[in-house]
């Protein structure tokens, strides 16, 4: 009888330990680290897979990433193509238990604006946004709640609170942007097609993209086409990626007189809980800065 009681106690302890064990959650990119950290708080472990400040478009994963993924319970990915290399890492890790959460499964994806040619690429930069990011946060929270039912309500509440914080940042900034626009329609140019989501939700149209295809360097003819279109549409603003000043930007500015402002790609920097909200606010502030400069011309 004592043996049976002892075995039952040990079984209950084992079940208890399993239920209380925190999920180990890996993320493919910086925005998803912030999203997930705000959702789970201290009730799960969020693990950075890639080194900080890498170009997610060109990064070649190493054995270090395979080792990290081998110990995960969950992997959160963008899932629109920008981080497809994660599937190969999962395969190489031989982690049979891992659950992959596609953050964008409920997001309406946009084509890349300004691409020339009949075949349009899907715009993978859903994290450079407020609205699409909130949709992803809700998806991540719901999927994690299914995997950890004990903390499900906690995850969902945190997701709501975090989404409200991001919405408040946007609401505050969009009022200022509207005042600077003075009721006018606004069309801008960008060096590449990564900013469609954030500009679109502000009612700003991307009329010209300098790159002929996503992440393809423009030729001399591409630059001529872009300059002609900027002049034709009377575009006053050109947005380029922060820290990646293009050699052709100054030439375009000289030819057209556009105001050049840099926007954050939001995949570089310190992996921290508050990085995304800070970067989002910086992008809104830089859009505001560009509008102020145009109004002073």
Instruction: Tell me the pLDDT tens digit for each residue of 170-199.
Output: 999 999 999 999 888 999 999 988 999 999
The whole-number average pLDDT for the span 204-223 is: 86
Please state the pTM of the whole predicted model: 0.90
The predicted pLDDT at position 275 comes to: 98
Q: What is the pLDDT of residue 5?
A: 46
On the question of pLDDT at 17 being above 70, the answer is: no
The pLDDT value recorded for residue 226 is: 94
pLDDT > 70: percent of the chain: 90
Confidence of residue 247 (pLDDT cuts 50, 70, 90): confident
Q: What is the pLDDT of residue 193?
A: 86
pLDDT of residue 214: 65
The structure tokens listed for 256 are 């057209």
CATH 3.40.50.1980 domain range(s) in the chain: 24-105+116-165, 173-296
Instruction: Give the residue with greater pLDDT, 4 vs 133.
Output: 133
Is residue 14 predicted with pLDDT exceeding 60?
no
**Mean pLDDT confidence for 231-245:** 90
pLDDT for residue 224: 95
So what's the pLDDT on residue 152? 98
Maximum mean pLDDT: which of 44-58, 59-73, 135-149: 135-149
258-283: average pLDDT: 96
What does the pLDDT read at residue 1? 52
Tokens of 245: 């000043």
At 65-116, the pLDDT tens digits run 999 999 999 999 999 999 999 999 999 999 999 999 999 999 999 998 876 6
CATH architecture of 24-105+116-165: 3-Layer(aba) Sandwich (3.40)
At residue 53, the pLDDT reads 78
**What's the pLDDT band for 18 if we cut at 50, 70, 90?**
very low
Q: Which CATH number fits domain 173-296: 3.30.420.40, 3.40.50.1980, 3.40.50.1220, 3.30.565.10?
A: 3.40.50.1980
């Amino acid at each position: 009888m004592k043996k049976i009681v002892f075995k039952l106690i040990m079984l209950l302890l084992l079940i208890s330990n399993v239920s209380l064990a925190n999920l180990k959650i890996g993320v493919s990119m910086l925005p998803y680290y912030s999203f997930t950290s705000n959702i789970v708080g201290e009730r799960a472990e969020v693990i950075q897979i890639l080194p900080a400040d890498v170009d997610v478009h060109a990064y070649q994963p190493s054995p270090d990433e395979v080792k990290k993924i081998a110990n995960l319970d969950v992997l959160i990915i963008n899932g629109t193509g920008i981080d497809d290399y994660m599937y190969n890492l999962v395969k190489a890790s031989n982690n049979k238990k891992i659950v992959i959460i596609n953050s964008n499964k409920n997001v309406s994806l946009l084509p890349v604006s300004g691409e020339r040619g009949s075949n349009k690429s899907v715009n993978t930069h859903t994290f450079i946004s407020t609205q699409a990011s909130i949709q992803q946060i809700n998806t991540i929270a719901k999927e994690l709640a299914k995997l950890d039912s004990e903390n499900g309500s906690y995850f969902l509440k945190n997701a709501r609170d975090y989404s409200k914080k991001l919405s408040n940042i946007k609401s505050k900034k969009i009022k200022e942007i509207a005042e600077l626009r003075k009721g006018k329609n606004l069309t801008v140019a960008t060096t590449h097609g990564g900013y469609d989501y954030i500009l679109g939700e502000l009612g700003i149209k991307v009329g010209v993209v300098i790159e002929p295809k996503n992440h393809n360097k423009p030729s001399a003819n591409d630059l001529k086409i872009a300059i002609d279109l900027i002049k034709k549409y009377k575009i006053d603003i050109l947005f380029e990626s922060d820290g990646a000043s293009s050699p052709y930007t100054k030439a375009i500015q000289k030819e057209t007189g556009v105001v050049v402002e840099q926007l954050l790609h939001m995949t570089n920097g310190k992996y921290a809980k508050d990085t995304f909200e800070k970067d989002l606010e910086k992008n809104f502030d830089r859009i505001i800065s560009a509008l102020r400069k145009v109004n002073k011309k």
